[in-house]
Structure 1
Amino acid sequence: MSAAAGTVSLGPVRGIRRVKDTGFTVFLWTCAGLALVPLTWIAVYVVSKGVGALSWNFFTKEPAGPLNPQQGGIVQSFVGTGLIVGIATVIAVPLGILAGIYLAEYGKGRTASGIRLVAYVLLSTPSIVAGAFIWALVVVALGNFSALAGGLSLVVLMWPIVAIASEAVLRLVPQELREGALALGLPRWKTIVRVVMPTAGAGLLTAVMLAVARALGETAPILLTALGNDHINTDIRAPTDAVPLRVYDYARTPVEALHSIAWGGALVLLAAVLFLAISARILSNRQQKRIA
């Protein structure tokens, strides 16, 4: 009888636990939904404001001037953004991945601790500080603004992202793979190049995409280093325009047509950043499944 009574008494307890579990699940989903509300609102607002500016001229023409701005575009901004971010990527990605390899495979002493400290400090450094640093170091020394200076200012922001993310991804590679390669007679560096890095390839690409997404929307460092340009420029030694700069410049003007073009530029930036972020997330999930 006591056993039967004990069995009956568990029913209400299980019911209470089920209610608590359901309530907590609903609470978490509600919090997640509320967190998405600002992002969704911003995305919808930018789309509603900027979609009207998108046209063939917008993507293929240089600015037409304040008298007839709707006939022009910001092609020079797209070219400049590609040039500046390209310079930054070519420099920051190899240095960041090499730093990540060192930290994950060799870094156990004070040198590794110093590199990690520098990376985390740079990761939290305001972008305008990076721009001011490169302005003082490069722009003042060379005597002019340039795409090269703009790219170097973005290197300061991209390198810590690539380095920290690369270290994290490389540490996820099972130690058994390294031990197996070493047991077969491969030297340490070949093990890293032929075994570890291919296994972590998707994760490394994710790190690069996140860094590029961060660089695409930066305005302050580009304003202090690249200055801007109303014409297409492919010379890394000359002042160069960028989409964030053009959005900033047009947003300050009293001309309503230029405001529309600024919203169009903001929409393109938002779409590019969302694409990179979603792609990085997909690659990260595939990387985790592959390693598992």
Structure 2
Amino acid sequence: MNIYKTRKAINKLMCTIALLCAILTLVPLISIFGYVIFKGISSINIDFFMHLPKPVGEVGGGMSNAIIGSLILIGLSCLWAIPLGIAGGIYLAEFGNNKLGTTVRFAADVLNGIPSILIGIFAYTLFVLPMKSFSAVSGAFALGIIMIPTVMRTTEEMLLMVPRTIREAALALGINQFRATVSIVLKTALPGILTGILLAIARIAGETAPLLFTALGNRFWHQNLTQPIAALPLQIFAYAISPFDDWHRQAWAGALVLIVIVFLMSFISRFIIRLRYKFPTPR
């Protein structure tokens, strides 16, 4: 009886400790989110989303060019990184059971762990120096490199989760392997792949270091992709290190917008996962 009571007490103790640990993991997130809301919500208004930054010394203005610039950079990055990442993931899942596949996996994992500032320096050497100008193209190249490993490895994992019987049934019907992979297997794994893409976008949305070496930023509307382009992380960084109180408030507002964007990306990706498992693809 004493042993039973001891086990029950230990079980309650460990459950309590586990609950406390779970709560502690939420404290930093809630604290950061709450503090950013507290500091930034007062500067969120129509002008913030519609107007350009004001000159030094003038109060007000907005970050419309930076918000649009971030969307342009994300769009350009997705344009080349997503197809390349998905193609790489398809190769690893369907044809990568060899030395080349092992090498590509290792390279993707290493690339995923490289500090983003080094990727920015690489893009600076490859694009900015030859072009003699910072540009949206070089910024999109740097962000795309950051995206590729996440998209590639997610695509591989999602394709490997598709039952082998689906592939065998397609091949038994006389469909060649490439068409079976693209038309059937890839379609089955699409929700998971889309989740990986959204998480990759959420990551690059807040990257600052690579853009310091590539996009640089500006205070005006951008009309040429071969010229410096504004971005939300760059504008936040520039305002945060400035000596002006109004710019500090604008930086907090920009940080709030950025956090909301990342939060929405994460929420949408998890919503897609829930739909995927609530309404599974017929097998």
The two structures share one fold, judged by TM-score above 0.5: yes
Where 2:218 maps in the other structure, the secondary structure is coil
**How far off is 1:15 after superposition?**
4.7
Matched residue SS, 1:240:
coil
Q: Of the candidates 209, 213, 216, which is equivalent to residue 205 of structure 2?
A: 216
* CA contact 1:206–1:280 (8 Å) conserved in 2: yes
2:106 aligned counterpart, secondary structure: helix
Measure, in 1, the Cα distance between the counterparts of 2:12 and 2:163: 37
What residue is the counterpart of 1:39 in the other structure?
Answer: 29
1:157-236 maps to which residues of 2 (within 5 A)? 157-236=146-225
- The whole-number CA distance in structure 2 between the counterparts of 1:80 and 1:18 is 58
TM-score by length of 1: 0.92
Decide which of 262, 269, 279 is 1:273's aligned counterpart.
262
Counterpart residue number, 2:56: 66
C-alpha distance in structure 2 between counterparts of 1:185 and 1:19, whole Å? 62
Deviates more, 1:232-241 or 1:150-159: 232-241
Q: Distance in 1 between matches of 2:92 and 2:275?
A: 24
Equivalent residue in structure 2 for 1:51, among 41, 45, 48:
41
Q: Which has the larger radius of gyration?
A: 1
The answer to whether residue 74 in structure 2 is matched with residue 85 in structure 1 is yes
Give the corresponding residue for 1:135: 124
Cα deviation for residue 16 of structure 1 reads 4.3
Moved over 6 A (4+): none
2:96: which partner in 1?
107
Q: Which amino acid aligns with 1:135?
A: Y
Provide the aligned C-alpha RMSD in A: 1.5
1:3 aligned partner: none
**Letter of the structure 2 residue corresponding to residue 257 of structure 1:** D
Distance 2:257 2:115 in 1: 24
Aligned residues: 281
Query: Structure 1 residues 174 and 18 mapped into 2: Cα distance closer, same or farther (>3 Å)?
Result: farther
State the 1:194 CA deviation.
1.8
Could you list the runs of 5+ residues in structure 2 that have no partner in the other structure? Answer: none
* Other-structure match for 1:259: 248
Distance 1:185 1:12 in 2: 68
Structure 1 residues not aligned, in runs of 5+: 1-10
Identical residues among aligned pairs (%): 36
TM-score normalised according to structure 2 size? 0.95
For 1:235 and 1:94, how far apart are their aligned partners in 2? 24
Residue type of the alignment partner of 2:76: I
Query: Residue 4 of structure 1 aligns with which residue?
Result: none
Q: Write the deviation string for residues 194-233 of structure 1: whole angstroms up to 9, x where unpaired.
A: 2111111110100110110010000010011011111111
> What's 1:8 paired with?
none
Q: Distance in 2 between matches of 1:176 and 1:25?
A: 41
